[in-house]
Amino acid sequence: MIQDIHPHSFNNKFVVTSGIRENDYVFHFIDNSLLLKQEDDIFLIPIKKDLKRLSDDGIFLFEFNNINCFLVWECVIPENSMLVYNEISFLRNQTQKELDWVTSVAFQLKNWYEQNRFCGRCGSATQLKSDERAIVCPNCHKVLFPSISPAIIVAIRNKDKILMARNAHFKNGFYSLVAGYVDAGETVEDAVRREVKEEVGLEIKNIRYYKSQPWPFSSSMMIGFIADVEDLHQNICIDNVEIVEADWYSRENLPTYPPSRSIAGEMIEKFIAGEL
């Protein structure tokens, strides 16, 4: 999955630092694009000394390969440098999977800081909390932590087949597993039953946990489950809104499915390998 970057290391523990050192990594975004250093076919995150001038002290993000990473809002790029802006989706198709992961998390945090510059309760300008990854309002003292939305994804089994569905919003026409956000006042298990009933009209049983996956692009936490259909002969009944096609598929005739950087892709590959 996207977060599996071994032998590289990622540590999101918040650390109180004394600022950006010369060899620390610096993340600078313009909208959806990130500043990267290109050396032939290799992309690198710039370090402080690659940049001409930094106008702020930066926000500590995380450690990548034991090097502190900071977000900066403004910087000046030296002339004739190898620095270029690339849309973060560009890294999806590169071989440097570790960059795909760390830039995604940096992008998630960048958006969170950017969207909370003012307090949602009283409208005052917010401040960064110095001792943890949090934002605080100096006026009403509201404290904000990174917003993460829990979502379920479920592989439904029917003997040796799996349910695959095509979502109306999928641009490239692939099929995936049933998924959806957990609602207020709902357990994740209830969300699994509700989403399956709403999207494909099936009753399920034997719901068991698989794994979870942070999905930075939508600030979600994907929580994976496996379940069995209650009645092997029950008809699939799609909602025709979110789901436009759904059916049972055996290992031999699966439709196009997501890559294994997502939990959906990994679960489908486990099914193909007979491990799900």
Whole-angstrom distance, CA of residue 263 vs CA of residue 267: 6
Site for Zn ion in 42-71 (CB under 5 A): none
**Is the Cβ–Cβ distance between 163 and 235 less than 8 Å?**
no
Q: Which stretch binds Zn ion (CB under 5 A): 30-38, 63-71, 88-96, 124-132?
A: 124-132
Q: Is 127 a binder of Zn ion (CB under 5 A)? A: no
Residues 6+ apart with CB under 8 A from 114: none
Whose tokens are 């829990």? That residue is 150
119 binds Zn ion (CB under 5 A): yes
User: Binding segment for Zn ion among 53-61, 120-128, 185-193, 235-243 (CB under 5 A)?
Assistant: 120-128
- Residue 76 or 140: the one with the smaller Cβ distance to Zn ion is 140
Q: Which of 5, 88, 137, 152 binds Zn ion (CB under 5 A)?
A: 137
Instruction: Please give the C-alpha separations between residue 184 and each of 69, 151, 190, 198, in angstroms, as whole numbers.
Output: 34, 12, 11, 17
Q: How far is CA 250 from CA 86, 163, 201, 255, 268, in A?
A: 39, 9, 20, 10, 11
40: alpha, beta or left? (left if phi > 0; alpha if psi -120 to 50): left
Instruction: Choose between 127 and 218: whose C-beta lies nearer to Zn ion.
Output: 127
Q: How far is the CB of 149 from Zn ion (least distance, A)?
A: 23
Interface mask toward Zn ion for 150-189; x: CB under 5 A:
----------------------------------------
Q: Smallest gap, in angstroms, from Cβ of residue 138 to Zn ion?
A: 8
Structure tokens at 170: 């999928």
Contact between 57 and 10 (Cβ < 8 Å):
no
Asked whether position 140 contacts Zn ion by CB under 5 A, the answer is yes
Give the nearer residue to Zn ion in terms of CB position, either 132 or 183. Answer: 132
- Our finding on whether 117 is near Zn ion (CB under 5 A) is no
Q: Compare residues 37 and 142 and give the one whose CB is closer to Zn ion.
A: 142
139 binds Zn ion (CB under 5 A): yes
Cβ-Cβ contacts under 8 Å for 73 (sequence gap 6 or more):
28, 55, 56
Binding of Zn ion at residue 144 (CB under 5 A)? no
Q: Which helix (H) or strand (E) holds 209?
A: strand 204-215
Q: Helix H segments across the chain? A: 97-115, 188-200, 263-272
Considering only the stretches 33-41, 73-81, 141-149, 238-246, report the one whose residues sit in contact with Zn ion under the rule CB under 5 A. 141-149
- Per CB under 5 A, the list member of 42, 76, 84, 122 interacting with Zn ion is 122
Residue ranges in contact with Zn ion by CB under 5 A: 119, 121-122, 124, 137, 139-140, 142
